[in-house]
Chains A and B, each alone.
Chain A
Amino acid sequence: MSEILDNFDLVLRAFWLTIQLAVLSGIASMVLGTLLVAMRIGPVAVLRGIATTYVTLLRNTPLLIIFIFIFIAAPDLGWFVHTPFLVKGVIAVTLYTSAFVCESLRAGVNAVPLGQAEAARAIGMTFGQNLRHVVLPQAFRASVPPLASTLIAMTKNTSVAAVFGLMEATARMRWFTNRYTDDTITIFIVFAIGYIILVEVLSLGSFGLERRWKAAR
């Protein structure tokens, strides 16, 4: 018990790295996922094809394999050779998660009544304006629960980075269990609670947004 508490700064630092991975990947995934959904529902066939292919490829590939590509295969092609590990981790998680964000948002877009987009077209909005001011804001509101699930899964998925030399929470947990073999239950509980707190923040945030947007839908 005392070992993990004596080294609690290591726990906090590990979770800080997990948070950095999660926040940076979360933001990047939302941006890329939004771009992808705009391509997928847009009028340009080539872009639709690219986005659909992207979603198929990245959603159907295990995250671990994407990590192996970014950390091991890509440097052989001369890519990401000098890229910091944190950035590589964010890239891997983002490539994977953005496909899910795209699909969550697409479900939200489908939930927006057709008349909304028609009304926007009828006042002379272009496709881009229509998406930005009318369709996507409402799609985001409708997508909050699936997006929250996607981001929660993503937060936990950052633990895959433990295998690739990033001393985030899961890597640090393994470090502790290797070192203090008598204390594995306590170590497990401490780290599990850490993840639960992170995920609960996301859940509460999503619940708050749902409540706030209830009237305006």
Chain B
Amino acid sequence: MTELGTVGRGPLVTLDHVDKWFGELHVLQDINLTIARGEVVVVIGPSGSGKSTLCRAINRLETIDKGTITLDGQPLPQEGKALAQLRAEVGMVFQSFNLFAHKTILENVMLGPMKVRKQSRADAEKKARELLDRVGVGAQAEKYPAQLSGGQQQRVAIARALAMEPKVMLFDEPTSALDPEMIKEVLDVMVDLAKQGMTMVVVTHEMGFARTAADRVAFMADGRIVEENTPEEFFDNPRSERAKDFLSKILKH
């Protein structure tokens, strides 16, 4: 595995005055966020605060109504081939895994490299098996997604995203659909990835992960980024009332 995304420290993803409405609901309000190469940004906040929408906007699974998002200096294309090419550079891991249900684990990881990157079957398979071993599900390669546990499926989903050799990885609540005993196995893979220098945007409720792996925490509420800080500062000395309130609710138990 080569070092990922550690070339320079310039901004890789920039959100500039981004606004989005769902009908009347102003889900993203004047969002400004810059993510540097190799940086791990954890986005936390109460449900309905717009954090998932923010994450999905970065590869344009959600369109935005105002403002600009740039990846590696390029504004996101509107649609078509150019948008597809951009998405190939952005790995995405979903809350509900979304592995291709009709394909084996191995085929799930090979599909993108073969069809989008036009790699040969042999190359794609070699890479896929390496990645599956790396996330600890190499032995399941010939099975179908429905035959795996949630934690295993999510690790496969991470391998599938990594197979595209993305510049940045987006995680949209990757452990929220998992049974408690499976959360750690997924977080371990993510922590490894962070240590290797992958640029990551992680929407999560896992405060432990935020503390150990994040370079920065962005706290969202009501469609705004209310507070941005290092994890230590954010958790120990939250500045905003909104963040204090949120932390008191989740950290009590």
Interface positions of A (Cβ within 8 A of B):
43, 113, 115-116, 118-126, 129, 133-134, 137-138, 141, 213, 215-217
Contacts and interface: CB of A to CB of B under 8 A. Distances in A.
Contacts of A118: 61, 94, 98
Contacts, number: 76
Interface stretch (B66-74, B111-119, B207-215, B216-224): B111-119
B88 A215 contact: no
B98 A119 contact: yes
Interface string B135-172: 00000000010110000000001001100100000000
- Chain A interface helix/strand/loop/mixed: helix
A141 B147 CA distance: 18
Interface in B77-95: 79-81, 84-92, 94
B98 A123 contact: no
Pick from B59, B101, B146, B161 the residue with the most CB of A within 10 Å: B101
B87 A138 contact: no
B100 interface: yes
Which range contains the number of B residues in contact with the other chain?
Answer: 20 to 34
A217 B91 CA distance: 24
Contacts of B101: 116, 138, 216-217
Contact of B116 (A124, A141, A213, A216): A124
Contact of B144 (A119, A134, A216): A216
Given A115-B94, A216-B144, A124 B112 contact: yes
B115 A133 contact: yes
Nearest 7 Cβ contacts at the A-B interface:
A124-B88, A123-B112, A119-B98, A115-B98, A122-B92, A124-B116, A124-B87
Most B CB contacts (10 A, CB to CB) among A43, A124, A213, A217 go to A124
A13 B74 CA distance: 67
B160 to A, nearest CB: 7
B116 A123 contact: yes
Nearest to B60: A121
A140 to B, nearest CB: 9
B96 A215 contact: no
